[in-house]
Structure 1
Amino acid sequence: MLGLGTVARKVFGTANDRKIKSTRPLVEKINALEPEFEKLSDDGLKDKTEELARRAMGGESLDALLPEAFANCREAAKRALGLRAFDVQLMGGIFLHQGNIAEMKTGEGKTLVATFPAYLNALTGKGVHVVTVNDYLAKRDAEWMSKVYSALGLTTGVIYPQQPDDEKKAAYGCDITYATNNELGFDYLRDNMKSELSQMFQREHNFAIVDEVDSILIDEARTPLIISGPSQDRSELYKTIDAIIPRLTEAHYSIDEKTRNATLTDEGNEFLEGEFGREGILPEGQSLYDPESTSIVHHTTQALKAHKIFQKDKDYIVRNGEVMLIDEFTGRMMAGRRLSDGLHQAIEAKEGVDIQPENVTLASVTFQNYFRLYNKLGGMTGTALTEADEFAEIYKLGVVEVPTNKPIARKDDHDAVYRTTKEKYDAIVERVREANAKGQPVLLGTTSIEKSETLSQLLTEAGITHNVLNARQHEQEAQIVADAGKLGAVTIATNMAGRGTDIKLGGNVEFKVMEAIAADPEGDPEAIRARIEEDHKADEEAVKAAGGLFVLASERHESRRIDNQLRGRSGRQGDPGRTSFFLSLEDDLMRIFGSERLDAVLSRLGMKEGEAIIHPWVNKSLERAQAKVEGRNFDIRKQLLKFDDVMNDQRKVIFKQRREIMESKDLSEIVADMRHEVVDDLVDEFMPPKTYADQWEAEKLHAACLEKLNIDVPVIDWAQEEGVDQDEIAERIEKASDEAMAAKAAQFGPDTMRSIEKQVLLQTIDGKWREHLLTLEHLRSVIGFRGYAQRDPLNEYKTEAFQLFESMLDSLRAEVSQKLGQIRPLSEEEQQQLMRQIAAQNAGRAAPAPEQEPEAAPEPAAGAAVPGFVEDDPTTWGNPGRNDPCPCGSGKKFKHCHGKLT
């Protein structure tokens, strides 16, 4: 008997069906316009773009322009790339424009789909960001799709690491900009550390299309982006603790694999106290439970994690004397990424490589909060439905499953579960041998480098030729993936998310053509291409006859999406194919998430060695286990976000304030208000309200005015006057401080004074914000203990973080007022002395040394002064940046020469 839900779906269709149906009239309109746009000349397509842009900027909605824009873009792609978008690709583009995630299967042409909404939204002139998972894809897609955009009269840019500033600025100024999520996030943080608007790269956050959206917005969202600077070197402590950890026995610690945590038992604490005492780490009489031992306990816990939880060739590899992290979702190395809180240093000590100093946070943001800055967001992936709730809750994104262009002909087998890993591996080798014997290409999926190398060894022993793709073969990635669909190919791959190169049956034509042209540079490229395309058709038919690509997974991943991504490599564009998952009760997922009951069932069934259990119920129970893990990971990310939201509100305030300061020409009013608040605070402190004059501490107030504002005011005399109250004294001090600053402005010149005020404000805000981030980190690490007192840690964190923010603003006002009170112009004698020093430096200047520290960087060579430069007239200096060469021609940076704040 059918359930009510099933009956309703049969009558009304699913919610997804209704969304697909709603786009059909739009697709029909676009198709109806096709003959009209085919008649346009190449210049006609560009003219159409100009017309649509005028209408968009004139107030016509993008929804109204959509059919014409999509028809124009389709025609441009047809001419530039020889690709005519299918109706389902237009649907995907419509959903992206509407701010949804379009779930499209592998091989359905997502790269082309992105051009439609990108083109439409770029008509407003506000720029569009297309986000990819790695630099290779950003460059490849930008180069490939720029042909379409340039045919439409739009500009395309690409952002990549270590890009020259002028090139990066130009790329962000383009109509469509391709970049990785990391570079966009880091550039946002860097922009908000700049001191001048002209140095900032990013424009407003208008519209972003995120490719592999599940990988970027979910898998990567657990780790915030952090820009950090080095702190003190503690490498000896790491080495000493690391040498002691191997002496621990299993009774000394407990491991929780589900949460990836390691904790010391009471026995372990006692044992370590003795060891640390002997090694001189713990002073005599000090216990591990004393507050002074917090740092040692923290480093010990991190060393324990490094040894017992983080595994070499699974979580990281050691390359060229450096510990490189591996992305668990894509199997790639994450160059430049480091674990925080001393964990990376603990792993470096374990592996015996050079220990890099720990870092202090200068700026940080989570991907959740960065991508929520955009006015509109869209995403594409082959696998998003399993995380639809998270996308809706965190990002307000709907997920729409776009139908495939051709029906899926792939056959998905039920999972086969073996008792032991050995039995499973034996069965895998046998199955690969069978497929290989008939020429069927095999893609063998693994979850770690270690397992991929074990299987590689077994296949080698069995005499089966194969390729291995993991973090060690990162450079040959595109070539290995392109060859994976050839007749008889066997490829072992560690995770297949976001590879960006399709596995095509018979092999990749473009790669074959490139290889043939490289081998015969004198030959005619057109003739070579024609010959290879002809040969390829025969190869493709042979692979199809053998059954298409066979995806064989060696275990299930924690996330169903990763399994689906691997499955999706087979059966693209209606090709035949097959997928199988071979599991064992010793796999991590089965072992950690309740294989006891299954093991008991298998024992009762009396299974012989080498036999597998294959049943839909097994699939269901595994999917339930995976759903549990996904749910737990979602809770972790949600909790991280709740805490980061507190910091994010403060971050927005600070970044907005910085921008307003940079945009302002005159900050004297802001500075004066800060100074007046400092005066009010000082008067309240030493002459509290509702107190009598004989209770006032006038001497202390006089000393505080000298120290904090650099003004000598007769506060003691004022306090003895008849009828004077605190408000009047505050007014007199404010007036005296205003007069002192006005005199200072007259000495420096108004323009120079405004520039000094701006630099002092920005530098102080940055310094205070860095200190505040560190304080919040410390608060975050201990706030969980409030739960033991039946108090909600999140509410406690919100309250305390707000109080810390207020006190940061108070100290900011005090420090800015103090710095501005103490600056003064150089005297003639000091100026002459400075010029003599510069002349001596210039005379004895050797070849510049290589750059070590930012502050110790060699000054640029001296040159001629800027034309019209007058030593005592700052208005003739131009407007150099803090790090630009000084206009006097000394060769020093402006901040170390005439821009120096004394």
Structure 2
Amino acid sequence: MFNTIMKSIFGSSNDRYVKSIGKIVNQINALEPQIQALSDEELRAQTDKFRQQLADGKTLDDILPEAFATVREASVRVLGMRHFDVQMIGGIVLHRGEIAEMRTGEGKTLVATLATYLNAIEGKGVHVVTVNDYLARRDAEWMGQLHNFLGLTVGVIVPNLDEFARRDAYGADITYATNNELGFDYLRDNMKHERGQMVQRPFNFAIVDEVDSILIDEARTPLIISGPTEDKSELYVAVDAIVKDIDPEWYEADEKTKNITWTEEGTDEIEKRLMEAGLLETDNLYDVENTQVVHHLDQALKANIMFKKDTDYIVKDDKVVIIDEFTGRMMDGRRWSNGLHQAVEAKEGVKIEPENQTLASITFQNYFRMYPKLSGMTGTAATEAAEFWDIYKMGVVEIPTNVPVQRVDEEDEFYKNTQDKFKAIAKAIKEKYDSGQPVLVGTVSIEKSELLSSFLDQEGVKHEILNARQHEREAHIVAQAGRIGAVTIATNMAGRGTDIQLGGNVEFRIEEELADLAEDDPKRQLEIDRIKAEVAAEKEKVLAAGGLFVLATERHESRRIDNQLRGRSGRQGDPGLSRFYLCLEDDLLRIFGPDTLFARMMNANLEDGEAIGSKWLSKAIETAQKKVEARNYEVRKQVVQYDDVMNDQRKVIYEQRSEIMDSEAVDDVVVDMRHDAINAMVGEHCPPGSYPEQWDIEGLKTKVDEVFDMRFPMEEWLEEDHIEPEIIEERIREEADRRMEEKIAKADPNMWRRIEKSLLLQELDHQWKEHLATLDALRQVVWLRSHAQKQPLNEYKQEAFGLFERMLDKLREDITAKLLRIELAEPAPLPRIDLPELPDFLTGHIDPLTGVDNSDDNDGSRGREALFGALAGSARAAAGPGGAADENPYAGMDISRNAPCPCGSGNKYKHCHGAIGAKA
């Protein structure tokens, strides 16, 4: 009560913050006459002027008022749009690294140009992140006109761009791209072996459009680059046979999360059966040595219990084909990850395709937290403000609308069942359709869209259905959803990035209807005037009919998605209406809603076809939504907590790779690795503080022979007085160093440096790949340790740290062993050390709980990469057939090593005249 009174007197903290920004807006407005007086050339010269001011010591905040005024005037001249004062407030919020919550139709795309321009002046690059490729292209082309006018360069990243085009786009002052493309490019860059092959530059500033969709909804599913691994068909079949013969009392299944947990009895029984089948390495199911088996066991259990044939998948042509849960359509080519698809194949007795192994992965949380400054904009963020602050340290600022909202939000209507609900919905739509009032219908799945479509067909109502898969067509249909009598059915995905304008959208009508008329055709302007007049007249009719009616067929599990749909109506002060229709069979009420007492009351008090509406029921639904939001937040938080563990290790590996690529020579690293490997071996077999008779000399001899291919008279050393582990270590180290020096002396110094560098990168990538596979499996099973009263996350951290240490030990040993064993041809001029082209790899946006790939375009980013380079056989004495010519006539030219060779051979320059060893 007290808070309400204080807020009414002083305003909320958000109101006070927005008011404080108003002072800066006043400064911008005061500069407007001065900026309007500039010619186009003088306005364009403002960019160079600002750059000079920054060079002279001014900050971005110092030049902000004049820069924003410049963008506003340029927008008027180029786009015919002038930024409102509230849009200026939004631009300042974005520049400060916060989230601007702005209602639909308030011009977020235009708002972004302010902060984008200001931060791009520094020349460090600004990324504008969109939810799909269509919006990235559209915004880059549309807003790019404004930025180009002011002298800035604009690039766009979309699937299937070659690496040269990507590098150019990232090198632009402003780059538009989707979140998936940015993340995958980051992962691919950290799989390259030369700095010149990388496409991204250091992170600076990013503005995320639809920030709630990208940083909240998609944040639970990490980006994963994967490649094929070895065939494990026999293991899948063996584990599946065991799972098929288990007692239902041995496990507990959770329909909400699709998780299955073993009971104590089940754990004991399954452990016995795995031991009998010879599948366990130790007699304890949850020892780290059994991580992979437990992972396959859990996937087999999930495949047999949670995934139903003809519901989640079908078997067609001896293959398991996933069925999309929303559309009911087959998804040929898509596969579940983490071995789940193979487990289902084993269950159905079809051919088991090799599993894909993770080669690199990152969550959106950890990717976007690498930007020194990050901001976002959306129509709905306030309900997730706590999560935005906890994860990204971004505050949410609600920006007032330019014109007060006139939309009327009616109470929800409740029905007993889906049939009654859809009859009522069809009747309501028919009434609005007959009156000419446009209707936008929001559904939670395409299956529900098609069901409603059949009801509307019976009523004789013409309508459009959007399936949110063709973004460009979707944008055109949504843009015209405000016309007289228009009825548009869309899933919750539909319409993002496109306003619904009452009477229709002039630009889209011109694009569609005048595509055949040339720009200079005199008829074109007449037709444009006709379209504008028709739209204006139609808008008046729609306004008289009550504006856009938004009708939702059920509540989404997130209030934010409901608000997104509702916000489609009431744009820029237009009148509007919204209403939600619910029933007891809705998923939200069935799984997460109030208890059975609620259902009994509804069934007892409602006649067939009857509806009720009450604040109490709406409150109950909101409570259910809050429960789901809290659970989903915990899921996302858990994802980032686990990825944080891997992220610390990822940073170490990627920083090490970067240092190696930038180094002319890595001999000091190689020497340190060799000495560390020797120290670890001696320490393991001759522990400090122990007596010589307690040492495992035989084990040490075997290990030294295995790794270094060297034999020592260690038994004789033991007979010496005062023998210490340090003395043994020193003797092994001296001999290893001597052998390496002999080998290096025979080789060309430049060639040997390249061998060391290539081999180091190759082994680092190989060990990291194997480590990721183990962590994937560990994460799937470690939560079962909660049965032993252990905290799974702490267990994961501890195990992951130990595994990382083991990986580094193995890396040191393998590097040392390969360099000591490498044989150089005689004589040894510079060989061509190339990284081989390997098969295509897959990019995926994988849900870690269900294994479902949520990528919009799983194959869009597919490309050839030298993932894990190997030394090209033994060091070759010279380039073979098709290799470098003895003379290189292009040596003085600035040619990229990956460009086609100028000689016309069709090979890359580095494989032809540019090969190492070619004479200048």
Fold shared per TM-score above 0.5: yes
1:579-612 CA-partner distances (Å, limit 9, x unpaired)? 11011111111122225333333355x3332221
| Aligned residue runs from structure 1 range 455-470, under 5 A | 455-470=452-467
Cα deviation per residue 1:748-776 (whole Å; 9 max; x = unaligned)? Answer: 21111111111111111111111111222
Matches within 5 A, 1:702-717: 704-711=703-710
Cα-to-partner distance string for 1:306-358 (whole Å, 9 max, x where unaligned): 63499569xx9999x99678698x99999997542233456789999997542
- Give distance in 1, aligned partners of 2:681 and 2:260: 50
**Secondary structure of 2:219's match?**
helix
Matched, 1:865 2:891: no
**Equivalent in the alignment of 1:599:** 599
Partner secondary structure for residue 154 of structure 1: coil
In the other structure, the counterpart of 1:142 is 140
When normalised by structure 2's length, the TM-score is 0.84
Q: Please, which of 80, 83, 96 is the counterpart of residue 82 of structure 1?
A: 80
Distance in structure 1 (CA, Å) of the matches to 2:566 and 2:578: 6
The counterpart of 2:46, out of the listed 36, 45, 48, is 48
Answer yes or no: is 1:663 the counterpart of 2:667: no
Deviation at 1:779, TM superposition (A): 2.1
Aligned equivalents of 1:761 and 1:176: distance in 2? 35
What is the CA–CA distance in structure 2 between the aligned matches of 1:426 and 1:390, rounded to whole Å?
39
Counterpart amino acid of 2:407? R
Alignment match, 2:499 = 502
Whether contact under 8 Å (2:191, 2:868) holds in the other structure is: no
1: distance between equivalents of 2:265 and 2:468?
Answer: 39
The answer on whether the counterparts of 1:446 and 1:493 sit within 8 Å (CA) in structure 2 is yes
Q: Deviations over 1:752-808 (max 9, x none)?
A: 111111111111111111111122222222222322222222222222221221121
Partners of 1:140 and 1:331 in 2: how far apart?
31
* Paired residue type of 1:602: M
Amino acid across the alignment from 2:38: L
Partner of 2:67: 69
Q: In structure 2, how many angstroms separate the alpha carbons of the residues matched to 1:309 and 1:87?
A: 57
Choose 638-647 or 685-694, whichever is displaced more: 685-694
Distance 1:76 1:616, change over 3 A: same
In structure 2, the partner of 1:377 is: 374
CA 1:510–1:309: 2 relative to 1, 3 Å: farther
Q: 2:338 aligns with which of 341, 345, 362?
A: 341
1:6 is the counterpart of 2:4? yes
**Deviations along 1:166-215, whole A, 9 cap, x unmatched?**
00001111111111111111111111111111111111111110000001
Give 1:300's aligned residue.
300
Aligned residues: 867
Tell me, yes or no, if the aligned pair for 2:744 and 2:752 is still in contact at 8 Å.
Answer: yes
Amino acid at match of 2:369: R
The corresponding residue for 1:845 is: none
Query: Over residues 620-676 of structure 1, what are the superposed CA-to-partner deviations in whole Å (9 max), with x where a residue is unaligned?
Result: 221111011101111111122212111111111111111111111121111111111
Contact 1:101 1:399 in 2 (8 A): yes
Instruction: Report 1:421-500 matches (<5 A).
Output: 421-471=418-468, 476-496=473-493, 499-500=496-497
Q: Secondary structure at the match of 2:606?
A: coil
Q: Matches of 2:634 and 2:648 in 1, distance apart?
A: 21
- Aligned equivalents of 1:740, 1:587: Cα separation in 2: 74
Structure 2 counterpart of 1:750: 749
Contact 2:898 2:908 in 1 (8 A): no
CA contact (8 A) 1:100 1:400 kept: yes
Question: Amino acid of the residue matched to residue 741 of structure 1?
Answer: M
**Aligned partner letter, 1:46:** R
Partners of 1:332 and 1:474 within 8 A in 2: no
1:176 to 1:539, Cα distance in 2 relative to 1, 3 A: same
Tell me, what secondary structure is at the counterpart of 2:420?
Answer: helix
Correspondence for 2:855 = none
Hey, what's the Cα distance between the residues in 2 that align with 1:455 and 1:619?
23
Q: Work out the CA distance in 2 between the residues paired with 1:877 and 1:546.
A: 70
Q: What CA distance in whole angstroms lies between the structure 1 residues aligned with 2:699 and 2:349?
A: 56
Deviation at 1:852, TM superposition (A): 13
Once the two structures are TM-superposed, the CA of residue 437 in structure 1 deviates from its matched residue by: 0.4
Tell me if the contact between 2:406 and 2:570 (Cα under 8 Å) persists in the aligned partners.
yes
Is 1:358 equivalent to 2:355 in the alignment? yes
Secondary structure in structure 1 of the residue aligned to 2:207:
strand
1:171 to 169, 180, 184: 169
What's 2:194 paired with?
196
User: Alignment partner for residue 511 of structure 1, among 505, 508, 517?
Assistant: 508
**Which segment is superposed worse, 39-48 or 232-241?**
232-241
Root-mean-square deviation (CA), in Å?
4.6
Q: Residues 165-314 of structure 1 correspond to what in structure 2 (within 5 A)? A: 165-233=163-231, 256-261=254-259, 294=294, 297-304=297-304, 307-308=307-308
Encode CA deviations 1:795-827: one digit per residue, 9 max, x unaligned.
Answer: 222222212211211111111111111112123
Shift of 1:58: 3.8
Q: 1:72 to 1:244 in 2, by over 3 A?
A: same
Cα drift, residue 830 of structure 1: 13
Answer whether contact 1:227 1:361 (CA < 8 A) is retained: yes
Q: Would the alpha carbon gap of residues 354 and 247 (structure 1) be closer, same or farther in structure 2, given more than 3 Å must change?
A: same
Give, in angstroms, the shift of residue 510 of structure 1: 1.4
Q: Which moved more, 1:634-643 or 1:575-584?
A: 634-643
Residue 80 of structure 1: CA displacement? 1.3
Aligned residue for 2:457, secondary structure, equals helix
Q: In structure 2, what is the Cα distance between the partners aligned to 1:499 and 1:260? A: 30
Distance across 2 between alignment mates of 1:529 and 1:349: 62
TM-score by length of 1: 0.86
Question: Match of 1:844?
Answer: none
**Amino acid across the alignment from 1:646:** V
Alpha carbons of 1:576 and 1:173: their partners in 2 closer, same or farther (altered >3 Å)? same
Task: Structure 1: state its 5+ residue gaps.
Answer: 835-849
How much does 1:525 deviate? 2.1
Letter of the structure 1 residue corresponding to residue 219 of structure 2: A
After the TM superposition, which of the residue ranges 775-784 and 19-28 deviates more from structure 2? 775-784
Counterpart residue number, 1:555 = 554
Distance in 2, matches of 1:297 and 1:715, equals 46
Is the 8 Å Cα contact of residues 320 and 344 (structure 2) preserved in structure 1?
no
User: 8 Å contact 2:35–2:73 — kept in the other structure?
Assistant: yes
Distance 2:323 2:660 in 1: 39
User: Does 1 or 2 have the higher relative contact order (CA < 8 Å, sep 6+)?
Assistant: 2
Residue 572 of structure 1: how far off its partner (Å) = 0.7
1:544 match: 543
Taking the aligned partners of 1:135 and 1:582, their CA distance within structure 2 comes to 33
Q: Aligned partners of 2:408 and 2:906: how far apart in 1?
A: 74
Question: Residue 365 of structure 1: CA displacement?
Answer: 0.8
User: Is the CA contact 2:210–2:378 (under 8 Å) kept in the aligned structure 1?
Assistant: yes
Compared CA separation, residues 549 and 889, structure 1 to 2 (3 A):
closer
CA distance in structure 1 between the partners assigned to 2:522 and 2:330 by the alignment = 39
Q: 517-526 vs 792-801, which deviates more?
A: 517-526
Cα distance in 2 for partners of 1:712, 1:536 equals 90
Report the equivalent of 1:767: 766
Secondary structure, in 3 states, of the residue corresponding to 1:524?
Answer: helix
* Equivalent residue, structure 2, for 1:740: 739
Residue type of the alignment partner of 2:400: P
Closer/same/farther in 2, CA of residues 33 and 694 from structure 1, 3 Å limit:
same
User: What amino acid maps onto 1:200 in structure 2?
Assistant: M
Distance 1:370 1:177 in 2: 17
Deviations along 1:726-769, one digit per CA (max 9) or x if unpaired, are: 43443343233223223322322111111111111111111111
Query: Is 2:68 the partner of 1:39?
Result: no
Greater Cα shift, 882-891 or 535-544:
882-891
- Tell me if the contact between 2:474 and 2:495 (Cα under 8 Å) persists in the aligned partners: no
Once structures 1 and 2 are overlaid, which stretch shifts more, 671-680 or 625-634? 671-680
Distance (whole Å) between structure 2 residues aligned to residue 285 and residue 790 of structure 1: 26
Alignment-derived partner of residue 796 in structure 1: 795
Distance 1:74 1:234 in 2: 61
Match of 2:389 in 1: 392
Whole-angstrom distance in 2 between the partners of 1:685 and 1:856 = 32
Does the 8 A contact of 2:443 with 2:552 survive in 1? yes
In 2 relative to 1, CA 142–243 (structure 1 residues): closer, same or farther, beyond 3 Å?
farther
**Compared with structure 1, are the counterparts of its residues 387 and 245 closer, same or farther at alpha carbon in structure 2 (3 Å cutoff)?**
same
Distance 1:40 1:716 in 2: 90
Structure 1 residue identity aligned to 2:784: F
